[in-house]
Amino acid sequence: MVKSRGSRFASLAAVGVLLIAAAGCGGDDDKGDDGSGDGGNGTTGKVGVILPDSKSSVRWETQDRPNLEAAFEAAGLESIIQNAEGSPDTFIQLCDQMINEGVDVLIETDLDPDSGKACIDKAKNAGIAVIDYDRLTLGGGADYYVSFDNVVVGAQQGQGLIDGLKAKGVTEGNIAFINGAATDNNATLFKQGYEQVIKDDGSFTVVADQTGDWDPDTAGKVFDGFYAEHPDLVGLVTANDGMAGGVIARMKAAGVEGEILVTGQDATAEGLANVLQGYQTGTVFKDTSLEAKAAADLAIAIINGDDPASIATGSVNDSVLGVDVPSVLATPVWITADTVKDVVAAGQANAADICKGIEDLCSQYGVQ
Protein backbone atom coordinates (compact mmCIF):
# COMPACT_ATOMS: atom_id res chain seq x y z
CA MET A 1 0.00 0.00 0.00
CA VAL A 2 1.47 3.35 -0.99
CA LYS A 3 0.90 6.10 1.45
CA SER A 4 2.20 9.29 2.90
CA ARG A 5 1.73 8.26 6.44
CA GLY A 6 2.14 11.43 8.45
CA SER A 7 -0.33 13.52 6.53
CA ARG A 8 -2.72 10.69 5.84
CA PHE A 9 -3.03 9.61 9.46
CA ALA A 10 -3.35 13.18 10.68
CA SER A 11 -6.13 14.08 8.31
CA LEU A 12 -8.03 10.84 8.69
CA ALA A 13 -7.77 10.98 12.46
CA ALA A 14 -9.05 14.55 12.30
CA VAL A 15 -12.26 13.57 10.56
CA GLY A 16 -12.64 10.53 12.75
CA VAL A 17 -12.36 7.96 10.00
CA LEU A 18 -11.72 4.47 11.24
CA LEU A 19 -8.80 3.00 9.36
CA ILE A 20 -8.40 -0.64 8.67
CA ALA A 21 -6.00 -2.59 10.89
CA ALA A 22 -2.35 -1.74 10.60
CA ALA A 23 -1.45 -5.29 9.59
CA GLY A 24 0.06 -5.20 6.13
CA CYS A 25 0.13 -1.42 6.01
CA GLY A 26 3.83 -0.84 6.51
CA GLY A 27 4.87 1.87 4.10
CA ASP A 28 8.33 2.82 2.95
CA ASP A 29 8.04 6.46 2.07
CA ASP A 30 9.41 8.01 5.23
CA LYS A 31 12.17 5.56 5.97
CA GLY A 32 14.98 7.17 7.92
CA ASP A 33 13.31 10.51 8.59
CA ASP A 34 13.73 10.12 12.33
CA GLY A 35 14.24 7.43 14.94
CA SER A 36 16.79 4.71 14.62
CA GLY A 37 16.39 4.05 10.92
CA ASP A 38 16.50 1.04 8.68
CA GLY A 39 18.71 -1.80 9.88
CA GLY A 40 19.31 -2.76 6.29
CA ASN A 41 17.35 -6.03 6.23
CA GLY A 42 14.63 -4.68 3.98
CA THR A 43 11.95 -4.34 6.65
CA THR A 44 10.38 -0.94 7.03
CA GLY A 45 7.94 0.43 9.47
CA LYS A 46 7.73 2.82 12.35
CA VAL A 47 6.99 2.14 16.00
CA GLY A 48 6.27 4.59 18.78
CA VAL A 49 6.96 3.82 22.43
CA ILE A 50 5.64 5.75 25.44
CA LEU A 51 7.55 5.03 28.65
CA PRO A 52 5.92 6.04 31.95
CA ASP A 53 8.50 8.08 33.90
CA SER A 54 12.08 8.07 35.11
CA LYS A 55 11.44 8.22 38.84
CA SER A 56 9.43 5.14 39.78
CA SER A 57 12.38 3.10 38.55
CA VAL A 58 15.56 4.03 36.72
CA ARG A 59 14.95 0.94 34.56
CA TRP A 60 12.84 2.83 32.00
CA GLU A 61 15.69 5.07 30.90
CA THR A 62 18.75 2.99 31.82
CA GLN A 63 17.51 -0.42 30.65
CA ASP A 64 14.35 -0.27 28.54
CA ARG A 65 15.23 2.67 26.32
CA PRO A 66 18.65 1.35 25.19
CA ASN A 67 17.34 -2.20 24.84
CA LEU A 68 14.32 -1.05 22.82
CA GLU A 69 16.54 1.11 20.60
CA ALA A 70 18.85 -1.84 20.00
CA ALA A 71 15.99 -4.24 19.29
CA PHE A 72 14.31 -1.87 16.80
CA GLU A 73 17.61 -1.10 15.14
CA ALA A 74 18.34 -4.83 14.73
CA ALA A 75 14.84 -5.32 13.30
CA GLY A 76 15.22 -2.44 10.84
CA LEU A 77 12.41 -0.44 12.40
CA GLU A 78 12.29 3.30 12.79
CA SER A 79 11.36 4.26 16.31
CA ILE A 80 10.21 7.16 18.40
CA ILE A 81 10.71 6.55 22.11
CA GLN A 82 9.32 9.14 24.52
CA ASN A 83 8.84 9.35 28.26
CA ALA A 84 5.67 10.77 29.84
CA GLU A 85 7.63 11.66 33.01
CA GLY A 86 4.75 10.73 35.29
CA SER A 87 2.15 13.01 33.68
CA PRO A 88 -1.03 11.46 32.23
CA ASP A 89 -1.55 14.68 30.19
CA THR A 90 1.89 14.34 28.63
CA PHE A 91 1.15 10.66 28.04
CA ILE A 92 -1.90 11.57 25.94
CA GLN A 93 -0.01 14.34 24.10
CA LEU A 94 2.74 11.89 23.18
CA CYS A 95 0.10 9.41 22.08
CA ASP A 96 -1.51 12.01 19.79
CA GLN A 97 1.87 13.00 18.37
CA MET A 98 2.80 9.43 17.58
CA ILE A 99 -0.51 8.77 15.88
CA ASN A 100 -0.08 11.96 13.85
CA GLU A 101 3.44 10.93 12.90
CA GLY A 102 2.01 7.76 11.44
CA VAL A 103 3.50 5.03 13.58
CA ASP A 104 2.47 1.55 12.46
CA VAL A 105 2.52 0.12 15.97
CA LEU A 106 2.15 1.94 19.28
CA ILE A 107 3.83 0.44 22.33
CA GLU A 108 2.88 1.84 25.73
CA THR A 109 3.61 1.39 29.42
CA ASP A 110 0.67 3.01 31.15
CA LEU A 111 0.73 5.38 34.09
CA ASP A 112 -2.82 4.49 35.05
CA PRO A 113 -5.66 2.58 33.40
CA ASP A 114 -7.57 5.72 32.31
CA SER A 115 -4.85 7.47 30.30
CA GLY A 116 -3.56 4.09 29.13
CA LYS A 117 -6.99 3.17 27.74
CA ALA A 118 -7.55 6.63 26.26
CA CYS A 119 -4.38 6.21 24.20
CA ILE A 120 -5.25 2.66 23.14
CA ASP A 121 -8.68 3.87 21.98
CA LYS A 122 -7.13 6.72 19.97
CA ALA A 123 -4.60 4.41 18.34
CA LYS A 124 -7.17 1.77 17.48
CA ASN A 125 -9.48 4.41 16.01
CA ALA A 126 -6.58 5.37 13.75
CA GLY A 127 -6.06 1.72 12.74
CA ILE A 128 -2.83 1.34 14.70
CA ALA A 129 -2.04 -1.86 16.53
CA VAL A 130 -1.15 -1.50 20.22
CA ILE A 131 1.25 -3.50 22.37
CA ASP A 132 1.08 -3.06 26.15
CA TYR A 133 4.70 -3.02 27.31
CA ASP A 134 5.47 -4.41 30.78
CA ARG A 135 2.17 -3.22 32.33
CA LEU A 136 -1.19 -4.51 31.14
CA THR A 137 -3.69 -1.67 30.91
CA LEU A 138 -6.70 -3.26 32.58
CA GLY A 139 -9.82 -2.69 30.50
CA GLY A 140 -7.65 -1.17 27.77
CA GLY A 141 -8.06 -3.67 24.95
CA ALA A 142 -4.46 -3.67 23.62
CA ASP A 143 -3.80 -6.22 20.88
CA TYR A 144 -0.75 -7.77 22.56
CA TYR A 145 1.09 -7.74 25.87
CA VAL A 146 4.83 -8.12 26.44
CA SER A 147 6.13 -8.56 29.98
CA PHE A 148 7.48 -11.00 32.55
CA ASP A 149 5.45 -13.45 34.54
CA ASN A 150 4.72 -10.91 37.23
CA VAL A 151 3.18 -13.29 39.76
CA VAL A 152 6.46 -15.23 39.56
CA VAL A 153 8.36 -11.95 40.13
CA GLY A 154 6.41 -11.49 43.37
CA ALA A 155 6.85 -15.13 44.37
CA GLN A 156 10.62 -14.74 43.96
CA GLN A 157 10.55 -11.68 46.22
CA GLY A 158 8.58 -13.55 48.90
CA GLN A 159 10.76 -16.65 48.68
CA GLY A 160 13.91 -14.51 48.60
CA LEU A 161 12.89 -12.81 51.84
CA ILE A 162 12.07 -16.15 53.52
CA ASP A 163 15.37 -17.69 52.37
CA GLY A 164 17.38 -14.64 53.44
CA LEU A 165 15.80 -14.65 56.91
CA LYS A 166 16.23 -18.40 57.41
CA ALA A 167 19.87 -18.18 56.26
CA LYS A 168 20.37 -15.74 59.16
CA GLY A 169 18.73 -18.18 61.55
CA VAL A 170 15.50 -16.13 61.74
CA THR A 171 12.72 -18.71 61.48
CA GLU A 172 9.77 -16.63 62.64
CA GLY A 173 8.76 -13.04 63.32
CA ASN A 174 6.92 -10.01 62.01
CA ILE A 175 7.28 -8.82 58.43
CA ALA A 176 5.63 -6.10 56.33
CA PHE A 177 4.89 -5.24 52.72
CA ILE A 178 5.62 -2.00 50.88
CA ASN A 179 3.76 -2.47 47.61
CA GLY A 180 3.93 -0.73 44.24
CA ALA A 181 1.42 1.86 43.01
CA ALA A 182 -2.23 0.84 43.12
CA THR A 183 -2.68 2.19 39.57
CA ASP A 184 -0.20 -0.40 38.22
CA ASN A 185 -1.64 -3.84 37.49
CA ASN A 186 1.84 -5.29 37.99
CA ALA A 187 1.84 -4.17 41.63
CA THR A 188 -1.27 -6.30 42.15
CA LEU A 189 0.36 -9.30 40.46
CA PHE A 190 3.62 -8.94 42.41
CA LYS A 191 1.66 -8.83 45.67
CA GLN A 192 -0.33 -11.92 44.69
CA GLY A 193 2.99 -13.72 44.29
CA TYR A 194 4.66 -12.72 47.56
CA GLU A 195 1.54 -12.92 49.67
CA GLN A 196 0.91 -16.50 48.55
CA VAL A 197 4.48 -17.71 49.10
CA ILE A 198 4.63 -16.19 52.60
CA LYS A 199 1.25 -17.68 53.49
CA ASP A 200 2.24 -21.13 52.20
CA ASP A 201 5.52 -21.06 54.13
CA GLY A 202 3.67 -20.04 57.29
CA SER A 203 6.74 -18.96 59.34
CA PHE A 204 6.27 -15.18 59.30
CA THR A 205 3.40 -12.88 60.28
CA VAL A 206 2.48 -9.94 58.05
CA VAL A 207 1.80 -7.07 60.48
CA ALA A 208 1.74 -4.10 58.08
CA ASP A 209 0.90 -3.66 54.41
CA GLN A 210 0.88 -0.35 52.52
CA THR A 211 1.67 1.11 49.13
CA GLY A 212 4.92 3.00 48.61
CA ASP A 213 3.56 4.32 45.29
CA TRP A 214 6.75 3.32 43.43
CA ASP A 215 8.38 6.29 45.15
CA PRO A 216 11.59 6.00 47.22
CA ASP A 217 10.73 8.86 49.60
CA THR A 218 7.19 7.65 50.17
CA ALA A 219 8.50 4.13 50.82
CA GLY A 220 11.01 5.54 53.31
CA LYS A 221 8.24 7.33 55.18
CA VAL A 222 6.07 4.22 55.15
CA PHE A 223 8.98 2.30 56.68
CA ASP A 224 9.39 4.93 59.41
CA GLY A 225 5.72 4.45 60.32
CA PHE A 226 5.97 0.65 60.29
CA TYR A 227 9.14 0.66 62.38
CA ALA A 228 7.70 3.05 64.97
CA GLU A 229 4.76 0.71 65.44
CA HIS A 230 6.60 -2.61 65.04
CA PRO A 231 10.22 -2.24 66.20
CA ASP A 232 10.47 -6.04 66.16
CA LEU A 233 10.15 -6.25 62.35
CA VAL A 234 12.52 -8.85 60.87
CA GLY A 235 11.92 -8.19 57.17
CA LEU A 236 10.07 -6.29 54.50
CA VAL A 237 8.98 -7.16 51.00
CA THR A 238 9.75 -3.90 49.23
CA ALA A 239 8.48 -4.16 45.68
CA ASN A 240 11.38 -2.57 43.75
CA ASP A 241 14.98 -1.44 44.13
CA GLY A 242 14.12 2.28 44.13
CA MET A 243 11.71 1.91 47.07
CA ALA A 244 14.20 -0.42 48.80
CA GLY A 245 16.77 2.39 48.46
CA GLY A 246 14.38 4.83 50.16
CA VAL A 247 13.74 2.33 52.95
CA ILE A 248 17.44 1.53 53.43
CA ALA A 249 18.19 5.26 53.79
CA ARG A 250 15.70 5.41 56.66
CA MET A 251 17.10 2.18 58.15
CA LYS A 252 20.56 3.77 58.14
CA ALA A 253 19.10 6.74 60.02
CA ALA A 254 17.69 4.30 62.59
CA GLY A 255 20.89 2.23 62.63
CA VAL A 256 19.16 -1.00 61.56
CA GLU A 257 20.38 -1.40 57.97
CA GLY A 258 21.20 -5.03 57.26
CA GLU A 259 19.33 -6.12 60.39
CA ILE A 260 15.84 -5.88 58.92
CA LEU A 261 15.98 -7.59 55.53
CA VAL A 262 14.58 -5.87 52.44
CA THR A 263 13.81 -7.16 48.93
CA GLY A 264 13.80 -5.35 45.60
CA GLN A 265 13.31 -5.69 41.86
CA ASP A 266 14.87 -4.39 38.62
CA ALA A 267 18.55 -5.24 39.26
CA THR A 268 19.51 -1.56 39.14
CA ALA A 269 23.05 -0.51 40.02
CA GLU A 270 21.74 0.89 43.33
CA GLY A 271 19.87 -2.32 44.11
CA LEU A 272 22.80 -4.56 43.21
CA ALA A 273 25.13 -2.48 45.40
CA ASN A 274 22.65 -2.80 48.30
CA VAL A 275 22.56 -6.56 47.74
CA LEU A 276 26.38 -6.81 47.87
CA GLN A 277 26.39 -4.79 51.11
CA GLY A 278 23.81 -7.08 52.71
CA TYR A 279 21.19 -4.32 53.05
CA GLN A 280 18.99 -5.94 50.46
CA THR A 281 18.58 -9.71 50.53
CA GLY A 282 18.17 -9.85 46.75
CA THR A 283 16.63 -8.31 43.67
CA VAL A 284 14.69 -9.62 40.68
CA PHE A 285 16.59 -9.44 37.41
CA LYS A 286 14.18 -8.89 34.54
CA ASP A 287 16.32 -8.87 31.44
CA THR A 288 14.60 -6.08 29.54
CA SER A 289 16.48 -6.96 26.35
CA LEU A 290 14.11 -9.97 26.17
CA GLU A 291 11.08 -7.73 26.61
CA ALA A 292 12.38 -5.30 24.00
CA LYS A 293 13.09 -8.08 21.50
CA ALA A 294 9.60 -9.50 21.98
CA ALA A 295 8.10 -6.06 21.30
CA ALA A 296 10.21 -5.68 18.15
CA ASP A 297 9.35 -9.20 16.92
CA LEU A 298 5.64 -8.57 17.40
CA ALA A 299 5.85 -5.18 15.69
CA ILE A 300 7.60 -6.69 12.67
CA ALA A 301 5.00 -9.44 12.36
CA ILE A 302 2.15 -6.91 12.62
CA ILE A 303 3.73 -4.62 10.03
CA ASN A 304 4.46 -7.48 7.63
CA GLY A 305 0.96 -8.84 8.02
CA ASP A 306 2.26 -12.12 9.47
CA ASP A 307 0.28 -13.91 12.15
CA PRO A 308 1.90 -12.95 15.49
CA ALA A 309 0.32 -16.00 17.17
CA SER A 310 3.56 -17.95 16.98
CA ILE A 311 5.32 -15.16 18.90
CA ALA A 312 2.61 -14.30 21.43
CA THR A 313 2.22 -17.85 22.68
CA GLY A 314 1.13 -16.93 26.21
CA SER A 315 -1.87 -15.05 27.48
CA VAL A 316 -2.79 -12.83 30.41
CA ASN A 317 -6.34 -12.23 31.49
CA ASP A 318 -7.70 -8.71 31.46
CA SER A 319 -10.10 -9.13 34.36
CA VAL A 320 -11.97 -5.92 33.48
CA LEU A 321 -12.71 -6.86 29.87
CA GLY A 322 -12.85 -10.58 30.65
CA VAL A 323 -10.55 -11.39 27.73
CA ASP A 324 -7.21 -13.16 27.42
CA VAL A 325 -4.64 -10.87 25.84
CA PRO A 326 -2.09 -12.72 23.65
CA SER A 327 1.23 -12.26 25.44
CA VAL A 328 4.96 -12.85 25.44
CA LEU A 329 6.13 -13.41 29.02
CA ALA A 330 9.82 -13.68 29.85
CA THR A 331 11.16 -15.41 32.93
CA PRO A 332 12.57 -13.36 35.83
CA VAL A 333 15.64 -14.42 37.85
CA TRP A 334 16.22 -13.90 41.60
CA ILE A 335 19.67 -12.41 42.27
CA THR A 336 21.66 -12.60 45.52
CA ALA A 337 25.17 -11.36 46.29
CA ASP A 338 26.67 -14.49 44.69
CA THR A 339 24.91 -13.90 41.37
CA VAL A 340 25.20 -10.11 40.99
CA LYS A 341 28.01 -10.87 38.55
CA ASP A 342 25.50 -12.66 36.24
CA VAL A 343 23.61 -9.38 35.67
CA VAL A 344 26.88 -7.71 34.69
CA ALA A 345 27.81 -10.65 32.44
CA ALA A 346 24.41 -10.32 30.73
CA GLY A 347 25.33 -6.74 29.88
CA GLN A 348 22.43 -5.28 31.88
CA ALA A 349 24.45 -3.47 34.58
CA ASN A 350 27.90 -1.90 34.76
CA ALA A 351 30.41 -3.02 37.36
CA ALA A 352 31.70 0.57 37.51
CA ASP A 353 28.26 1.86 38.60
CA ILE A 354 27.69 -0.93 41.13
CA CYS A 355 31.16 -0.95 42.66
CA LYS A 356 31.73 2.75 43.37
CA GLY A 357 32.94 2.83 46.99
CA ILE A 358 32.48 -0.93 47.51
CA GLU A 359 35.37 -2.20 45.39
CA ASP A 360 36.37 -4.81 48.01
CA LEU A 361 32.90 -6.39 47.98
CA CYS A 362 32.95 -6.42 44.21
CA SER A 363 36.22 -8.31 44.11
CA GLN A 364 34.97 -10.66 46.83
CA TYR A 365 31.88 -11.50 44.75
CA GLY A 366 33.66 -11.51 41.39
CA VAL A 367 31.81 -8.46 40.05
CA GLN A 368 33.97 -6.86 37.38
- Using CA atoms, how far residue 354 sits from 67, 217, 309, in Å, is 19, 21, 39
Nearest distance, CB of residue 223 and ligand BGC, angstroms: 17
Classify each residue of 200-223 as buried b or exposed e, where b means 16 or more C-beta atoms within 10 Å of its C-beta: eeeebeeebebbbbbbbebbbbbb
156 is an interface residue for ligand BGC by CB under 6 A: no
57 is an interface residue for ligand BGC by CB under 6 A: yes
Antiparallel, parallel or unpaired: β 314-318 and 323-330:
antiparallel
46 is an interface residue for ligand BGC by CB under 6 A: no
Nearest distance, CB of residue 357 and ligand BGC, angstroms: 24
Q: Which is nearer to ligand BGC, 5 or 65 (CB)?
A: 65
Q: What binding mask, one character per residue, do residues 6-45 give for ligand BGC by CB under 6 A, x or -?
A: ----------------------------------------
Q: Which is nearer to ligand BGC, 110 or 143 (CB)?
A: 110
Q: Which is nearer to ligand BGC, 36 or 150 (CB)?
A: 150
184 is an interface residue for ligand BGC by CB under 6 A: yes
Q: How many residues would you count in the chain?
A: 368
56 is an interface residue for ligand BGC by CB under 6 A: yes
Q: Any idea what DSSP says for residue 96?
A: H
What is the rounded CA–CA span in Å between residue 243 and residue 179? 9
214 is an interface residue for ligand BGC by CB under 6 A: yes
CA 338 distance to own-chain centroid: 24
Nearest distance, CB of residue 214 and ligand BGC, angstroms: 4
**Region 109-138 residues binding ligand BGC, contact defined as CB under 6 A:** 134-135
- With CB under 6 A as the contact rule, the residue among 59, 117, 122, 124 that binds ligand BGC is 59
Q: Give the closest residue to 49 by CA, choosing from 141, 135, 140, 149.
A: 135
CA 167 distance to own-chain centroid: 29
Nearest distance, CB of residue 256 and ligand BGC, angstroms: 24
Stretch that binds ligand BGC, among 16-24, 54-62, 203-211, 290-298 (CB under 6 A): 54-62
**Region 228-247 residues binding ligand BGC, contact defined as CB under 6 A:** 240
Nearest distance, CB of residue 15 and ligand BGC, angstroms: 36
- Using CA atoms, how far residue 108 sits from 82, 131, 153, 177, 360, in Å, is 10, 7, 21, 28, 41
Residue 293 burial (10 A CB sphere; 0-12, 13-18, 19+): buried
266 is an interface residue for ligand BGC by CB under 6 A: yes
Stretch that binds ligand BGC, among 52-60, 110-118, 122-130, 341-349 (CB under 6 A): 52-60
Nearest distance, CB of residue 60 and ligand BGC, angstroms: 7
Q: Give the closest residue to 107 by CA, choosing from 43, 40, 22.
A: 22
- Residue 50 CB neighbour total at 10 angstroms: 27
According to DSSP, the residues that pair with 326 across neighbouring strands are: 315
Which residues lie near ligand BGC (CB under 6 A)?
A: 56-57, 59, 134-135, 180, 184, 186, 214, 240, 265-266
